[in-house]
Structure 1
Amino acid sequence: QSLRVNVPFSETGLPLSLLPSNFNGSEVFQVTTPVNTPGGKLNGFEINYQQPFTFLPGEFKNFGIQANYTFVKSRINYQISPTSNTTITDDLLNLSPRSYGATLYYDNGRFSARVTGTHRSAFLTRVPGQNNNDVEGKNKTFNVDVSMSYKWNDKLEFTLEGANLTNQANDQFVSRDRNGVVVNNVTGREYLAGFRYKF
Structure 2
Amino acid sequence: MNIRARLTDQLQMRFAYSKGLARPNFDQLSTNLTLNNPNQINPITGRPSASSGNPLLRPIKSDNFDLTAEYYFSAAGSITGGLFYKKVNGFLAGGRVVGTYNGVAYDVSTQVNSGDGTVKGAEIGYQQFFDFLPGLLSGFGIQANYTYVDSNVSNPFATAGSSIPTSVPLEKLSKHSYNLIGLYEKGPVTARVAWNWRSSYLDQTTGSGANGIPQYAKPYASLDASLMVNLNQHIAVSADVVNLNNRMNVLYIGTPSAPLQYQLNDRRFGLSLRATY
TM range (shorter): 0.7 to 0.9
Q: 2:241 aligns with which of 154, 162, 169?
A: 162
Q: Note the aligned Cα RMSD (angstroms).
A: 2.4
Deviation at 1:125, TM superposition (A): 2.0
Query: What's the TM-score once normalised by structure 2's chain length?
Result: 0.60
Indicate whether 1:90 and 2:182 are aligned. Answer: no
Indicate whether 1:45 and 2:122 are aligned. Answer: yes
Q: Residue 18 of structure 2 aligns with which residue?
A: none
Q: Residue 192 of structure 1 aligns with which residue?
A: 270
- Higher RCO (CA < 8 A, seq sep 6+): 1
Taking the aligned partners of 1:174 and 1:107, their CA distance within structure 2 comes to 44
Q: How many residues align?
A: 182
Contact 1:71 1:99 in 2 (8 A): yes
Q: Residue 100 of structure 2 aligns with which residue?
A: 8
Indicate whether 1:127 and 2:205 are aligned. Answer: yes
Contact 2:157 2:212 in 1 (8 A): no
Deviation at 1:144, TM superposition (A): 0.6
Indicate whether 1:72 and 2:127 are aligned. Answer: no
Instruction: Structure 1: state its 5+ residue gaps.
Output: 10-24
Contact 2:204 2:216 in 1 (8 A): yes
Q: Which amino acid aligns with 1:121?
A: S
Q: Residue 22 of structure 1 aligns with which residue?
A: none
Q: Which amino acid aligns with 1:113?
A: A
Indicate whether 1:58 and 2:150 are aligned. Answer: no
- Cα distance change on mapping 1:101 and 1:137 into 2, 3 Å: same
Deviations 1:120-167 (A, max 9, x none): 111002224343353102211111111011111112211111111011
Q: Residue 220 of structure 2 aligns with which residue?
A: 141
Contact 1:33 1:82 in 2 (8 A): no
Instruction: Structure 2: state its 5+ residue gaps.
Output: 1-92
Deviation at 1:96, TM superposition (A): 0.4
- Greater share of strand: 2
